[in-house]
Amino acid sequence: MEGEEFKVAAKEMVDYIVDYLTNIRERRVVSEVEPGYLRPLLPHAAPDTPDQWKDIMTDIERVIMPGVTHWQSPYFHAYYPANVSYPAILADVLSDALGTIGFSWNASPACTELEVVMMDWLGQLIGLPQEFLFTPGGTGGGVILSTASEATLVALLSARSKKLKELGHTPISDHPPLVAYTSDQSHSSVERAGMFAGVRLRLVTSDEQFSMRGPALRQAILADIKEGLIPFYVVGTVGTTSACSYDNLKEIGEVTREFGLWFHVDAAYAGSALVCEEFRYLMIGLELAQSFNFNPHKWLLVNFDCSAMWYKNSNDVVDAFNVDPLYLKHENQEGLLPDYRHWQIPLGRRFRSLKLWFVMRMYGKQGLQAHIRRHVSLAHQFENHVKEDSRFEIFFPVTLGLVCFRLKNEDNAMNEKLLKNINAGGVVHMVPSKAKDVYFIRFAVCSVDTNSDDVKISWKEVKKQTDLLLN
Ligand code: PLP
């Protein structure tokens, strides 16, 4: 494809994208295909001679769309949001065209330099303590990683390296019996980080508000020390995936200080809400953490992938993963700016800060706040619908864009059946969760364009399926 042909195709694609997003309500939110649907729609092998662009374009509706779950649909209420916005799409187009791999400052100075400034902008926007930001002579700073899972793993590996050094071990030598901690409500990626690193991970029992508290953590640590284990890392969550509950960062932070442990805070979803001052109370105690992560690619209008991670002492991560072959060295590597290859697991990295730059400029702080507040108010609208129907109960208090609800006088099996029927209806899509053995249904406000009428339609569908099931 040459430039002129690309211009025509790109315009066609832009039209397709805008039509898709504008008319998305007309599509069934979840697909009806069976596993293996796609292979029979394609030839057995790649074509010998070039296909025509128009045929590829036609195949999007024929091959792809039947198997797409429409995450941007206002009737998609599953998991957590994965917002897209036009400014972020434009930034990704530019990033794809530049095709830079910005692993070091030298590899593409703008890639590193914009990321440094954007991580400061974003950190200021959510009210992060100053120690997490880049300051002349300071050790704080942020980096864009791919996912919250990567952030948790990188922090764990850095914490392990730091602890091993303190104990006089090298990362390659036999490890003493290290142990990490998180709540029984934290995301599965935390448990996986422990598995990847081959360290024990203790799940601390949360309280009745699904919150990990200091005394429970302290008790678990003391029991492990008694058994000869060496605690080194704790992950606290602001906005759990299951019910959007909150760990007590202050209490946890004090315990981690007492025992000299790395404290990482995972706010993958809820972090975006911190652009609004009224939600900043959720991060009280964050000043005691070593690292903090949230996903603008969830709820801050930045397309996947863009996971923002800050360290108070970036030397801890740089020292943990620093291998410096000649072909990656450059004259400015001891300078003012980071070589981000030391801050992450892969070497290569895309120009993701463009997305943050475009989005923060095109929405401004006020636009981002309005987006979050609108979603929170839509969640409260759905909460009110639930409360007005005596067959239901709200399972957990609503603070942000997630409503957890269930049939009040019914067992888990009946609630499971209700959700199965709701999803089979094809109008809306939700997923369940379970906390302390109670099954509940999660309604997350996801699409950027969800409005009050959409929420009414979603609720109407829940009511309809409930009537059918209970009568
Ligand atoms: N942590 C929390 C609290 C989450 O809600 C999620 C995903 O929903 C994750 C971590 C994992 O996010 P990622 O897909 O960016 O690894």
Residue 48 above 90 pLDDT? yes
Residue 108 above 80 pLDDT? yes
Residue 319 above 90 pLDDT? no
Catalytic residue among 70, 77, 187, 429: 187
What value of ipTM does the predicted structure carry? 0.97
Q: Name residue 204's beta-bridge partners.
A: 183
CB 274 within 8 A of CB 241: no
Q: What rounded mean pLDDT belongs to the chain?
A: 95
pTM for the predicted model, two decimal places? 0.95
- Kindly write down the DSSP assignment for every residue of 184-218, as one continuous string: TTS-HHHHHHHHHHT-EEEEEPP-TTS---HHHHH
Could you check whether the bond before residue 207 is cis, i.e. omega within 30 degrees of 0? Answer: no
Residue 25 above 80 pLDDT? yes
- Cβ of residue 147 lying under 6 Å from some atom of ligand 1: yes
**CATH number for the domain whose boundaries are 100-350:** 3.40.640.10
> What is the share, in percent, of the chain residues with pLDDT greater than 90?
89
> What pLDDT is stored for residue 172 in this prediction?
66
Taking the C-alpha atoms of residue 440 and residue 218, their distance in angstroms, rounded to an integer, is: 30
Q: Which atom of ligand 1 is nearest to the CA of 186?
A: 3
Active site includes 264? no
Measured at the CA of 71, the angle between CA 187 and CA 364, to 5 degrees, comes to 85
Taking the C-alpha atoms of residue 443 and residue 367, their distance in angstroms, rounded to an integer, is: 24
Average pLDDT over residues 144-165: 94
Q: Mutate which of 71, 77, 83, 149 to test ligand 1's pocket (most atoms within 8 Å of Cβ)? A: 149
CB 76 within 8 A of CB 452: no
CB 122 within 8 A of CB 278: no
- Cβ of residue 82 lying under 6 Å from some atom of ligand 1: no
